[in-house]
């Protein structure tokens, strides 16, 4: 079977198939992470990134190349999680720039688009490292370029590109010694290969379920009966509030937040006199009761979606979701008039536990994004946080090296306020940055001060190994405790106490003055205090502080300054 061109409809199928294949392999890809930590999540991050775009692709009714390109680019950019997810989104961003002006794609167009994909991704990374997803993408793009003039058959073209990508992937351990010692290939590169393989299956006509769970509306490609029957919120509720008085921006945000707590598919469009409301919920009465606190109601309409014709309801939901998205985009482009003057500086911090959340709040953080270690926030999560902070300049503290790229990507998409990302790689670095903020200084001075001060923080974290491996000549067995420093594994052993003490000894030196202990949700306070007493006796020149961090997975997070 020879195929010389790909139209928008076929490309949409190929993209969805690539997303489905990556999602199916995500756990296997997670296991390729070099560090055998329980939050190794390259596969998860890449999967969630591409599925964010896949949902937008599934929502398209009349698929054109420009609309498809926009859905892939916008969806992946906003849904990007972790370094691997951000790089994947940048690959898609460059690729879609290369295809958006064509009705059909051939070997030449696809080769050019792949070159643009690689160029865009490399530019997005400050210090590109070979032996990663970037190397695999470049190898595939170079192969595509070499095939121009040799074949016009896209089945041959894509097959040879995949073979080349796999060959480059197999060489990544030779480029990064840490991969070779761990006995794995690059996990991000493997994820990209799985996307290409899924796309190839669709090109060849393989039977594939293209349904994307959580898509905003029906897909013209395929919707399963099961997906139509599985309705989480049963009542489509609509009404208009005739306001007693105009709502403030804060009241609108609070009302939306309440609706989100009882349902989904929410649209709230407000002007001076009325508010148009739509929500899917299992208790319409709660929505109506809250609305009555703002004024009288008219045009109330409640439909039982489980009894209505499914196709009509899904199409209606698509229109409403599109209206909601358009409204949100307009709000981001045009800054709303606030009820009170914006403060000059605001802070967003990623956090990992209840106790650490409270520490950040006490240091003046306006908005906390939870889940830094166990689930990297997406670019859109960070954008939403920026929107919520009522300040002229917003500082973002990622507190995780795998979130910095997503934070930078979010900052680049914001136009209505200044955003400064302080590249904090750990929770202690984030805390130090906040402690050293001086309100009387301007944003640039504080940025420079924070950047300098976080360099003085050494961090150690104790967790457990999820598999056997060999790293940096350290033999690690599943279930072993590991003490991980800023750039390497410092200690490994069967006894948690021994590991945390040994790790501390490698962090503390004669210049150390302050040791801060943040103990996790699985550690009792008595154990943490015993460890603190040990440090005080062993390092009498250091001040020791103990805090309940409440973080999962990591038994201890320790900072040394």
Q: What six digits make up the tokens of 555?
A: 């038994």
Contacts of 293 (CB under 8 A, 6+ apart): none
pLDDT of amino acid 193: 96
Using alpha carbons, select from 66, 91, 89 the residue that is nearest to residue 79: 89
8 Å CB contact between 16 and 54: yes
Using alpha carbons, select from 333, 43, 90, 311 the residue that is nearest to residue 195: 43
Least confident of 34-38, 164-168, 345-349: 34-38
When comparing pLDDT for 355 and 319, which is higher?
A: 355
Using alpha carbons, select from 265, 210, 215, 198 the residue that is nearest to residue 52: 215
The proportion of the chain whose per-residue pLDDT surpasses 90, expressed as a percent, equals: 61
pLDDT at 180 over 90: no
pLDDT grade for 382, boundaries at 50, 70 and 90: very high
Least confident of 372-376, 379-383, 437-441: 372-376
pLDDT at 225 over 60: no
Cα–Cα dist 372/26, whole Å = 19
Contacts of 501 (CB under 8 A, 6+ apart): 531, 534
pLDDT at 210 over 90: no
Using alpha carbons, select from 101, 100, 143 the residue that is nearest to residue 118: 143
Cα–Cα dist 121/200, whole Å = 22
Strands 274-281 and 104-105: unpaired
Q: What average pLDDT does the chain have?
A: 86
Q: If you average pLDDT over residues 167-185, what whole number do you get?
A: 90
Cα–Cα dist 282/271, whole Å = 27
When comparing pLDDT for 432 and 468, which is higher?
A: 432
When comparing pLDDT for 322 and 342, which is higher?
A: 342
pLDDT at 556 over 80: yes
8 Å CB contact between 83 and 405: yes
pLDDT of amino acid 331: 47
pLDDT of amino acid 325: 56
pLDDT of amino acid 248: 83
Least confident of 119-133, 295-309, 348-362, 374-388: 295-309
Using N-to-C axis directions, what is the helix angle for 379-388 and 65-79, rounded to 10°? 70
């Amino acid at each position: 079977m020879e195929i010389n061109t790909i139209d928008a409809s076929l490309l949409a199928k190929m993209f969805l198939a690539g997303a489905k294949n990556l999602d199916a392999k995500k756990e296997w890809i997670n296991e390729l992470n070099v560090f055998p930590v329980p939050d190794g999540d390259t596969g998860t991050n890449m999967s969630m990134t591409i599925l964010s775009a896949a949902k937008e692709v599934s929502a398209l009714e009349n698929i054109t190349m420009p609309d498809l390109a926009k859905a892939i680019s916008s969806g992946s950019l906003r849904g990007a999680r972790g370094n691997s997810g951000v790089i994947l989104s940048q690959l898609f961003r460059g690729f879609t720039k290369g295809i958006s002006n064509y009705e059909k794609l051939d070997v030449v167009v696809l080769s050019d688009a792949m070159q643009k994909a690689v160029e865009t991704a490399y530019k997005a990374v400050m210090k590109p490292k070979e032996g990663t997803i970037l190397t695999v993408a470049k190898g595939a793009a170079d192969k595509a370029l070499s095939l121009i003039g040799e074949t016009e058959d896209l089945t041959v073209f894509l097959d040879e590109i995949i073979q080349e990508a796999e060959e480059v992937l197999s060489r990544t351990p030779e480029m990064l010694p840490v991969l070779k010692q761990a006995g794995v290939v690059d996990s991000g590169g493997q994820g990209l290969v799985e996307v290409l393989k899924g796309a190839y299956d669709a090109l060849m006509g393989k039977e594939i379920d293209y349904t994307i769970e959580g898509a905003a509306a029906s897909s013209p490609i395929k919707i399963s009966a099961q997906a139509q029957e599985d309705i989480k919120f049963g009542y489509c509720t609509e009404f208009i509030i005739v306001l007693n008085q105009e709502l403030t921006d804060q009241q609108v945000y609070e009302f939306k937040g309440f609706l989100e707590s009882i349902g989904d598919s929410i649209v709230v469009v407000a002007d001076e006199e009325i508010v148009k409301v739509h929500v899917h919920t299992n208790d319409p009465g709660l929505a109506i009761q809250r609305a009555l606190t703002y004024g009288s109601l008219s045009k109330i309409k409640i439909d039982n979606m489980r009894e209505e014709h499914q196709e009509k309801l899904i199409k209606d939901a698509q229109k409403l979701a599109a209206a909601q998205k358009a409204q949100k985009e307009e709000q981001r482009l045009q800054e709303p008039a606030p009820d009170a003057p914006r403060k000059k500086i605001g802070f967003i911090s990623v956090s990992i536990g209840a106790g650490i959340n409270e520490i950040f709040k006490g240091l003046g953080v306006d908005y906390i994004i939870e889940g830094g270690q166990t689930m990297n926030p997406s670019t859109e999560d960070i954008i939403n946080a920026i929107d919520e902070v009522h300040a002229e300049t917003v500082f973002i503290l990622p507190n995780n090296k795998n979130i910095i790229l997503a934070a930078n990507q979010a900052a680049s998409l914001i136009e209505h306020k200044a955003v400064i990302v302080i590249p904090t790689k750990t929770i202690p670095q984030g805390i130090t940055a906040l402690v050293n903020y001086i309100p009387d200084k301007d944003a640039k001075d504080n940025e420079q001060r924070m950047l300098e001060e976080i360099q003085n923080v050494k961090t150690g974290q104790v967790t457990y190994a999820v598999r056997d491996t060999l790293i940096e000549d350290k033999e690690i067995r599943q279930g072993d405790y590991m003490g991980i420093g800023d750039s390497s594994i410092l200690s490994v052993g069967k006894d948690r106490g021994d590991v945390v003490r040994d790790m501390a000894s490698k962090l503390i030196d004669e210049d150390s003055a302050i040791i801060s202990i943040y103990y996790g949700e699985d550690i009792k306070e008595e154990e943490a205090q015993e460890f603190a007493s040990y440090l005080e006796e062993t390092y009498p020149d250091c001040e020791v502080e103990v805090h309940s961090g409440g973080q999962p997975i990591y038994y201890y997070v320790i900072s040394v300054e």
